[in-house]
Structure 1
Amino acid sequence: MALLAQMRRALSSARVVYLFEFFKLMIFLCPGARHNYHAMTVESESKRQKTDSEWFPPSVTHMESPFSYSTSTFHSEIPKTVLTNRNEPVYLGVDEAGRGPVMGPMVYGISYCLESYSKELKKFGFADSKTLKEDKRQQLFEIIEEHDHELNDNVGWATCTMTAKDISSGMLQSSHGKGAYNLNEQAHDTTIQLIKQVLAKGVNLKYIYVDTVGPPASYQVKLQKEFPNCSITVAKKADSIYPIVSTASVVAKVTRDFNLKYYLQNLEYLQGQSIGSGYPSDPNTSRWLNGNVDKAFGWNFGLIRFSWQTAKDSLVKHGAHEVIYEEDCIKQDSGYVEIDSFFCENPQTDKLKNDFYGKAVSL
């Protein structure tokens, strides 16, 4: 009875972590569970390739291992005019798509062209992404990829598709280890890496324009330190001001839209279902999210951001199993106890503990 009372006190004082953290354990410690999810997929090489009847951007079709749900990066070829005019300064724009959704990736897109060509982008309709309809964005991306089109000769681009799994894994890192890797930090690091990769290709990058949802001033200072030889401009709604950012916005948004479409076509349990845009405010997304909660695993860990409050609330609402992690049971004055104290009277000398886990030593 004394042991039972001790366990109850520890459980009541410990921070109980709901299933929205359980996916971490599944990813790293339960390959069998991961295999079961992958077994549900119906990947087909023919479906991953561009066909005459249905276009997909190469940033989606060239994912190396789509069902590992790992962040992926894709770079277009350097455009001909940039290659043949190495000394002419280059403009580069940065924008994102999918910061707010509970389902699917956040995609960072960049586009770049010669300074002398940057003003030509307006004539094709690159503008504030919110004013462009979905079919118009797709059309613009398609012509960038047409080898005999003017845009293909002048505009280079790249994307980094940050998966829901990787976003949540970073945000849910234990405070007893590295600590949370918040979304802004992830976004900044992704932007910096994309720009560095373009510079590594020998592109004469001189002007960088970035759309941001956070404080522009501090972000601009950070980027200026990273790229001292470039002129940096960070602004809110930059896609409505600078055509090169509008181009990056199109690349990012179309990549995200087709990423969701790809999984909708290739994951068996999603086929024939309406998952919506992935935003919590979308009725189809909300309906699917709340109607498909598995009490043990939640949802497919690669598509849902378990770190989002929307996902956490849905898990609690639908009775997902609670999970307590040993690292969260830290002995403190508040009454937390070490988890092994549930099973042995003397945790410091217990033979099972010491033989199984090893004895602590100091050097």
Structure 2
Amino acid sequence: MLVAGIDEAGRGPVIGPMVIAGVLIEDERANVLHNLGVKDSKKLTPKRRERLYPEILKEAKACHVEIVEAKVIDSERGIKNLNGIELEAMVKIISRLRPDLVQVGSIEFKADKFRDKLSQRVKVPIISVHHAEDLFPAVAAASIIAKFTRDNIVCRLREIYGDFGSGYPSDPKTVEFLKDAISRGELPEIVRKTWGTVQRIASVSSCNALSSRY
């Protein structure tokens, strides 16, 4: 039986894309991934993820990655929320990999509700639970592929746009990058302009500019 594990990296950042990965493996090979040390990407160092990346590709029957750029997230959010955007990417991955079974972490509070939504779009049995990356090696493998891919993209973006930190709203370096860009009126396309962080900084910047005139 062919099992597809699906996971994402980059839901929360205000800068950079969201990356969703699918890894297709033979069910009986799941223990091989486990023995290699494949686990939730957040529990691994960057170096360890880098080492495991080619090992996962070697074991997988197929892999597929969907990269949702910041500008696409912004345009789509006028129609659907982030969960809806990610669900569409998952549908594309499942359609490409054509597994016998899908294992995926729920992106909604009610896992069964999310499973039902996905089941309406693809005719494949789906197991959807919270923390699936801790339970299923295929999902853990997908988390590594997604994280490694996004980290490489972010490194390239820093070379182009300068050091914006991690890209997360809680990172002071990211906030300073946004403040500087907004003050110059030059928000690059890698910024998710619909994020509350950007709108708050823009609002404060506008108020400060107005106050300085009077």
Normalization by structure 2: what TM-score? Answer: 0.89
Q: Which runs of 5+ in 1 are unaligned?
A: 1-88, 146-151, 174-179, 200-204, 321-363
Aligned pairs for 1:1-363 within 5 A: 89-145=1-57, 152-171=58-77, 173=78, 180-199=79-98, 205-214=99-108, 215-228=110-123, 230-265=124-159, 267=160, 270=161, 273-296=162-185, 298-300=186-188, 302-319=189-206
Cα separation, 1, equivalents of 2:60 and 2:6: 17
CA contact under 8 A between 2:103 and 2:139: conserved in structure 1? Answer: yes
Cα separation, 1, equivalents of 2:199 and 2:84: 22
Cα distance, 1:102 vs structure 2? 0.4
Cα distance, 1:309 vs structure 2? 0.4
Cα separation, 1, equivalents of 2:166 and 2:112: 31
Q: Deviations over 1:119-141 (max 9, x none)?
A: 21101111122211122112211
Cα separation, 2, equivalents of 1:227 and 1:311: 35
The structure with more helix, counted as a fraction of residues: 2
3-state SS, counterpart of residue 292 of structure 1? helix
Residue 121 to residue 144, structure 1, CA distance change in 2 (3 Å): closer
Cα distance, 1:294 vs structure 2? 4.4
CA contact under 8 A between 1:91 and 1:113: conserved in structure 2? Answer: yes
Residue 94 to residue 154, structure 1, CA distance change in 2 (3 Å): closer
Q: Which amino acid aligns with 2:187?
A: W
CA contact under 8 A between 2:4 and 2:97: conserved in structure 1? Answer: no
The structure with more strand, counted as a fraction of residues: 2
CA contact under 8 A between 2:23 and 2:60: conserved in structure 1? Answer: no
3-state SS, counterpart of residue 102 of structure 1? coil
Residue 154 to residue 190, structure 1, CA distance change in 2 (3 Å): closer
3-state SS, counterpart of residue 109 of structure 1? strand
Cα distance, 1:221 vs structure 2? 1.2
Cα separation, 1, equivalents of 2:118 and 2:167: 30
3-state SS, counterpart of residue 197 of structure 2? helix
CA contact under 8 A between 1:295 and 1:319: conserved in structure 2? Answer: no
The corresponding residue for 1:350 is none
Cα distance, 1:144 vs structure 2? 3.6
CA contact under 8 A between 1:111 and 1:158: conserved in structure 2? Answer: yes
CA contact under 8 A between 2:15 and 2:191: conserved in structure 1? Answer: yes
Matched positions, count: 206
Q: Deviations over 1:263-300 (max 9, x none)?
A: 222x2xx2xx421111011122122112222454x411
Residue 119 to residue 231, structure 1, CA distance change in 2 (3 Å): farther
Q: Which runs of 5+ in 2 are unaligned?
A: 208-214
* Percent identity of paired positions between Structure 1 and Structure 2: 28
CA contact under 8 A between 2:56 and 2:141: conserved in structure 1? Answer: no
Normalization by structure 1: what TM-score? Answer: 0.54
